Amino acid sequence: MADVRPFRAVRYAAPSTDLTAPPYDVINEEQAAVLRARDPHNVVHLTLEPNEERAGERYREWLASGVLVDDSEPAFWWLEQGYIDLDDAPRRRTGVVVSLRAEPYATGAVLPHERTHRGPIESRLRLLRAARAQLEPIFLLHEGAPPVTRPSGEPDLEAGESRLWRLPPDPAVGAFFADRELLIADGHHRYETAVAYADEGGGDRLPVVLVSLADEGLEVYPTHRVFTGRADVDAAGEPHDSLDEALAALAASPDHRAAAVLVRPDEVRVVRGEERELDVELVDRFGHEGLAYTPDRAEAVRRVVSGEADCAFLVRSPRLAEVFARARDGRPLPQKTTYFFPKLVSGLLFQPVER
């Protein structure tokens, strides 16, 4: 049973897009440099500080100086994120921000859908120990409509297209989620870090955003695979005269059987996998050496055409029902199976570990 509660947040006294950032694991070095230069108090000075002890000291300095303020009362929060989708249409995704008890996957309250690596967990654990605060929320999915609705009036917090309304503590919220399985959409490493921290005697709670599978703004994009230094990667398939023709064939392929477009410098093919297999599982057969990921199809193709990469596999968006089913069966999928858009914004709400 998921243990969901309101929490007393720490937040910026004057939130703005100069202070917020995407999650730490989707920021490259160039983007990190831009964010650091944007404001000396941008959240990346905490989440991407190479010296975790210094990040913890900085967090406490910001609290002492009033850059960050401490809420006096616990609350849930309604989050609305506006964005422009791939068809240039305005969309919005909504969710409820709560404090969730971190517990092992074996309890069945929280389900993973992707495999993780130990390295990121170790670095996040050092940061958590130093800051003694959860600095970024993670993104989870649930079935059914949310138990609350957006309050009327202006938001209590706003930074760009992210808006937050405070919701009063309500036992009905905890009761609603107590009997629902929660699927991690983004944040596997951070969740497992919270479990590890609890195991060593630290706090066992973290902030999460709970989004309904029925939310109209829920978008999941494919994450394409690009191989470099792997001239050995090849697969038989149906050749096509053009990329557009191959993509049309991929779109027309049945959902219940894996398929992908293999792009090589001089050819394109549609490669087909097994029944009840996802596209990313088909590609996973080639291993992970020299593998990179991108949600940008044009970028994947550009790398191959320019000679930067040997080949790319263009895949379809995963089927969320199948992802949920695999998670329930305890069968995690390859890393970067899903790319939920937009990413959550870091720097809106923090949660000290003692709360």
Compute the residue count for the chain.
355
The verdict on 178 and 30 lying in the same domain is yes
The verdict on 186 and 51 lying in the same domain is yes
pLDDT (average), residues 95-100: 98
What's the DSSP call for residue 24? Answer: G
Look at residue 110 and tell me if it is in a domain.
Answer: yes
Look at residue 335 and tell me if it is in a domain.
Answer: no
The verdict on 37 and 49 lying in the same domain is yes
The verdict on 309 and 346 lying in the same domain is no
Kind and range of the H or E element at 201?
none
The verdict on 212 and 247 lying in the same domain is no
Look at residue 111 and tell me if it is in a domain.
Answer: yes
Q: What is the pLDDT of residues 29-42, one digit of tens each?
A: 999 999 999 999 99
Is 227 in contact with 286 (CB distance < 8 Å)?
yes
**276: alpha, beta or left, given left = phi > 0 and alpha = psi -120 to 50?**
left
The verdict on 127 and 240 lying in the same domain is no
Q: 100 pairs with which residues across the strands?
A: 4, 206
Look at residue 328 and tell me if it is in a domain.
Answer: no
Name the E strands within 245-337: 257-264, 267-275, 291-294, 311-314
Look at residue 332 and tell me if it is in a domain.
Answer: no
The verdict on 273 and 199 lying in the same domain is no
Expressed as residue numbers, the domain containing 230 is: 223-316
Number of domains in the chain: 2
Q: CA of 65: how far to CAs of 52, 60, 71, 130, 156, in Å? A: 20, 9, 15, 19, 22
**Least confident range of 17-31, 40-54, 168-182, 321-335:** 321-335
Which is it for the CA torsion 56, 158, 180, 120, positive or negative?
negative
What pLDDT does 324 receive? 83
Look at residue 85 and tell me if it is in a domain.
Answer: yes
**Rounded to whole angstroms, how far apart are CA atoms 252 and 230?**
29
Q: What is the pLDDT of residues 310-324, one digit of tens each?
A: 999 999 998 888 888
The verdict on 73 and 198 lying in the same domain is yes
Look at residue 324 and tell me if it is in a domain.
Answer: no
What pLDDT does 286 receive? 95
Is 265 in contact with 271 (CB distance < 8 Å)?
no
The verdict on 29 and 65 lying in the same domain is yes
**Least confident range of 90-94, 117-121, 230-234, 306-310:** 117-121
Q: Are strands 291-294 and 224-227 parallel, antiparallel or unpaired?
A: antiparallel
